Structure 1
Amino acid sequence: MMLNNCERTPVIGNRIECLGYIGTIKYIGQVSDYAGIWIGVDWDDPTRGKHNGTIKGVCYFEASFPTSGSFVRPEKVNLGQTAVTALTSRYGRHDDDVTAKLHEQQLQSVQQCINAPFLKLVGFDKITDKQSDFWNLKVVNLRLQSVYTSGDPGSIRALCPNIIELDISKNLIKSWLTIFDICSQLDNLEWLNVSENILEFPPDLDDYCYGSVRVLICNAMKLTWNNVLQLGKIFPNLEELRVPNNNITTLDTPEDHKLVHLKLLDLENNLIQNWEEILKLKFLKNLEQMILENIKLNKIYFEDQEKIIDFSHLKKLVLTNNLINDWESVGELNKLQKLEDLKFINNPILDKESFVISTELIIARLENLKVLNGTTLQSDERRGAEYRYLKKYGLEYLSLKDYDQRKEFLKKHNRYDDLITKHGMPEESEMKTTSKIIKGTLTELQIIFNERIIRKKLPPSMLVQKLGTLVQKLFQLTDRPTLIYTSNTKSNIEINLNDDCKELGFYSMQDGDRILVQM
Structure 2
Amino acid sequence: MSPEGSKPGFQVDQRVQSVKAEKTSSKQLGTVKYVGPVEGYDGLWVGVDWDTGLGRHNGTVNGKHYFETTTKESGSLVRPNSLSTGITLAEALIERYNASATTTSSGEDGMYVMSVRQRRMTVELVGKDQIEEKQKHLEDLKVVILAYAGVCSAGPRGQVGGLAPCIKELDLTGNLLPDWNAVGQICDELPLLRVLNLSCSRISMDAESINPALSNIQTLVLNNCHITWQQVDQLKLSLKSLEELHLCGNNIRTIEASEHGAPGVFVDGFELLRLLNLEDNNIVDWAEILKLSKLKSLEHLNLNSNGLEEVLYPVLDPSFEEDKEAKKSIPFQNLRCLLLGKNKIARLDSVDALNHFPSLKDVRLSENPLVDGAGVNASRFLLVARIGNITSLNGSEVKARERKDAEIRYVRYVLNSVLGQIDDSVLKKHPRFLELKAKHDIPMESAQSGAALASHKMSASFLSVTIMCVSLSVGEKAPVTRKLPSSTTVGKLKQICEGLFKVKAANQCLYVKDEDTPLPVALDNDLESIHDLGLGQDSVILVDEAKGH
Tell me the TM-score range normalised by the shorter chain: 0.7 to 0.9
What residue is the counterpart of 1:40 in the other structure? 47
2:14 is aligned with what amino acid?
Answer: N
Aligned 1:210-221 pairs, distance under 5 A: 210-221=214-225
- How far did 1:203 drift? 4.1
CA offsets, 1:157-201, max 9 Å, x none? 010011000000101222121111100011111111001110112
Alignment match of 2:275 (pick from 264, 270, 279): 264
1:55 aligned onto 2:61:
yes
Match of 1:180 among 168, 176, 184: 184
The answer to which of 198-207 and 301-310 deviates more is 301-310
Structure 2 length as normaliser, TM-score? Answer: 0.73
Compared CA separation, residues 244 and 502, structure 1 to 2 (3 A): closer
- How far off its partner does 1:49 sit? 2.2
Structure 2 residue 300 is the aligned partner of structure 1 residue 285: no
Greater helix proportion: 1
Q: Which residue of 2 aligns with 1:67?
A: 73
Contact 2:346 2:376 (C-alpha < 8 Å) held by counterparts: no
What's the counterpart of residue 355 of structure 2? Answer: 334
Shift of 1:361: 1.5
Query: What is the letter of the counterpart of residue 138 of structure 2?
Result: F
Would you say the 8 A contact 2:363–2:390 is kept in 1?
A: yes
Mark the CA change 1:49 to 1:454 in structure 2 (over 3 Å): closer, same or farther.
Answer: closer
Question: Secondary structure of the equivalent of 2:212?
Answer: coil
Instruction: Tell me the number of residue pairs that the alignment of Structure 1 and Structure 2 aligns.
Output: 452
1:17 and 2:17 matched:
yes
Alignment match of 1:79 (pick from 79, 85, 96): 85
Counterpart of 2:313? 302
Q: Is the 8 A contact 2:181 2:211 kept in 1?
A: no
Letter in 2 for 1:291: N
Per the TM alignment, residue 501 of structure 1 is displaced from its structure 2 partner at its CA by: 6.3
Shift of 1:225: 0.9
SS at 2:290's partner residue? helix
- Tell me whether 1:443 sits opposite 2:466 in the alignment: yes
Corresponding residue for residue 24 of structure 2: none
C-alpha displacement of 1:457: 3.2
Residue pair 1:51, 1:68 contacting (<8 A) in 2 also: yes
Listed as ranges, the gaps of 5+ residues in structure 1 are 97-128, 448-452, 471-482
2:48 and 2:296 mapped to 1: Cα distance? Answer: 44
Work out which of the residue numbers 359, 363, 386 in structure 1 matches 2:384: 363
Partner of 1:496: 519
Q: How far apart are residue 56 of structure 1 and its match?
A: 4.0
Contact 2:336–2:360 under 8 Å retained in 1: yes
Partner Cα separation in structure 2 for residue 305 and residue 299 of structure 1: 13
User: Structure 1: how far apart are the matches of 2:197 and 2:61?
Assistant: 38
1:375-434 superposed Cα distances (whole Å, 9 cap, x missing partner)? 101222222222222222214545657xxx51x433322211111111234665999988
Alignment of 1:321 onto 2:376 = no
Q: Retained in 1: the 8 A contact 2:275–2:299?
A: yes
Match of residue 452 from structure 2: none
Aligned to 1:5: 5
Task: Check 1:497–1:427 CA distance in 2 against 1; reply closer, same or farther (3 A cut).
Answer: same
- What value does the CA root-mean-square deviation take over the aligned residues? 3.7
The offset of 1:253, in angstroms, is 2.9
CA offsets 1:310-344 (integer angstroms, 9 cap, x no match): 10100000001111111111111111011110111
Match of 1:383 in 2: 404
Query: Can you list the C-alpha shifts for 1:77-98, whole angstroms capped at 9, x where unaligned?
Result: 23322211111111113899xx
Task: Go from structure 1 to structure 2 and tell me whether the alpha carbon gap of 1:391 and 1:156 turns closer, same or farther (over 3 Å shift).
Answer: same
* 1:235-250 correspondence runs (5 A): 235-250=239-254
Partner of 1:158, secondary structure, is helix
Deviates more, 1:168-177 or 1:260-269: 168-177
Q: Percent identity?
A: 32
Q: Residues 280-313 of structure 1, C-alpha deviation per residue, up to 9 Å, x if partnerless?
A: 1122111001001111111112345599921010
- Structure 1 residues 36, 392: closer, same or farther in 2, change over 3 A? same
8 Å CA contact 2:290–2:314 kept in 1: the answer is no
**Would you say the 8 A contact 1:394–1:431 is kept in 2?**
no
Contact persistence 1:218–1:243 (CA under 8 A) = yes
Q: Is the 8 A contact 2:60 2:67 kept in 1?
A: yes
Distance in 2 between the 1:62 and 1:446 partners? 70
Aligned CA distance change for structure 1 residues 265 and 303 (closer, same or farther; 3 Å): closer
CA, structure 1 residues 484+278, in 2 after alignment: closer, same or farther (shift >3 Å)? closer
In structure 2, relative to structure 1, the CA distance for the partners of 1:153 and 1:435 (3 Å cut) is: farther
TM-score normalized by the length of structure 1 = 0.77
CA contact (8 A) 2:251 2:282 kept: yes
Shift of residue 45 of structure 1? 2.0
